[in-house]
Structure 1
Amino acid sequence: MNYFAHLHIAYETQTSWAGNLLGDFPVVANELPADLYSGWQLHQKVDVMVDEHEASVRFRGMPRLGRRRFAGIVQDIVMDYWLIQNWSQFSLLPLDAFCQQAVEGLLNDVERCPARLQKMIYSLQQNNWLAELGTVEGVENALHSIMRRWRHGAYLQPFLDELPTVIRQGEAVFFALYPDLLNYVDQQTKKAERENLLG
């Protein structure tokens, strides 16, 4: 899952907005404040669950130009696209209201975030582009952003070259995966609450 899905999970579980994004940024986990650490930890569990889900395995194995080993990166972005496209099936909160709440929540913790995440949050404050992740142009921009800052970024170009096919391939994967993921994070949240009560 990419930024938008992790923010949706933060909302659903009432855990830290920023914490749920920290898994994609360099941090020393055991030095994080408790609330940020809980979000970071949930992010890690989500990533493992998604990687191991049969729908993800199926997506990585689909015939396409790009190398299979990099398909998971693209899948994360495509999952955001399909979540936004089908937002009303997963939330009663209007999309624009959710995006606004997410940015406000991130700004509350911006000073406790690493520099690169701070830069992203301030970018959202200036121009809330979260909903744009649900457009083809938004998917392209997200992939180009990764390609610019990652030394292996050139390997993502084949996915861009056939992006409509890649996005289309992701639809069935999303619907097979995302409900399972929401059930999983609900179970993880309840488990953490029970452990906190037991002390």
Structure 2
Amino acid sequence: MNYFAHLHIASITQTSWVGNLLGDFPVNANSLDADLLQGWRLHQQVDVMVDQHAASVEYRSMPRNGRRRFAGIVQDIVMDYWLIQNWSRFGGMPLDVFCEQAVSGLMLDKERSPERLKNMISSLEADNWLSTLGTTDGVEKAIRSIMRRWRYGEYLQDFVDDLPNVIEQAEKPFLALYPDLLKFVDQEMKKAEATHSLG
């Protein structure tokens, strides 16, 4: 899952918006404030669960342009696409309202964010582009953003060239995975609450 799904999970669990994105940015977890650390840990748990889920394994093994070893990177982005496409099922509020809440929440902790995340929040303040992650152009921009930053970014070009197929292939895996992920997150939050109450 990419930015949008992690923000959705932050909203559902009422945990830090910034904290739930920190797993995608270089941070020293030991130096994080408690609320940010909780979000960071939840992000890590989500990433592990998604990576191991049978639907993710299936998606990564589908025939397409692009190396299989890099398919998981693209999967995260196209899962956001399908979450937005299915927002009426999973969202609980109008999409534009959620996007505004997410950016407002991120702005509250902007100064506690690493520099690259600060820059992303600033770009969202100027132009709230979250909903565009549910468009083909938005998916391509997200992939190209990774390509620019990552030393092996050139290997993602094949996925861009095959983008309509790459997106279409992700619909069924997303619909199989996301309900399970929301159940998993609920269980993890209940475990954390139980541990906290015992402590």
Return the TM-score normalized by structure 1.
0.99
Shift of residue 68, structure 1, vs aligned partner? 0.5
Letter in 2 for 1:156: L
> Number of residues paired by the alignment?
199
Q: 2:194 matched to which residue of 1?
A: 194
Q: Distance in 1 between matches of 2:33 and 2:119?
A: 20
Q: 2:116 matched to which residue of 1?
A: 116
Aligned-residue CA RMSD (Å): 0.4
Counterpart secondary structure, 1:64: coil
* 1:173-188 map, 5 Å: 173-188=173-188
Gaps of 5+ in 1: none
Letter in 1 for 2:2: N
Q: 2:125 matched to which residue of 1?
A: 125
Q: 2:31 matched to which residue of 1?
A: 31
Matched residues, percent identical?
Answer: 70
Shift of residue 105, structure 1, vs aligned partner? 0.3
Counterpart secondary structure, 1:4: helix
Counterpart secondary structure, 2:179: helix
Shift of residue 30, structure 1, vs aligned partner? 1.1
Shift of residue 65, structure 1, vs aligned partner? 1.2
Q: Distance in 2 between matches of 1:152 and 1:65?
A: 16
Q: Distance in 2 between matches of 1:65 and 1:103?
A: 35
Q: 1:18 matched to which residue of 2?
A: 18
Q: Distance in 1 between matches of 2:170 and 2:44?
A: 22
**Partner deviation per Cα, 1:99-129 (whole Å, 9 max, x = no partner):** 0000000000000000000000010000000
* 1:1-199 map, 5 Å: 1-199=1-199
Gaps of 5+ in 2: none
Return the TM-score normalized by structure 2.
0.99
Shift of residue 161, structure 1, vs aligned partner? 0.5
**Partner deviation per Cα, 1:146-195 (whole Å, 9 max, x = no partner):** 00011100000000011000000000000000000000000001110111
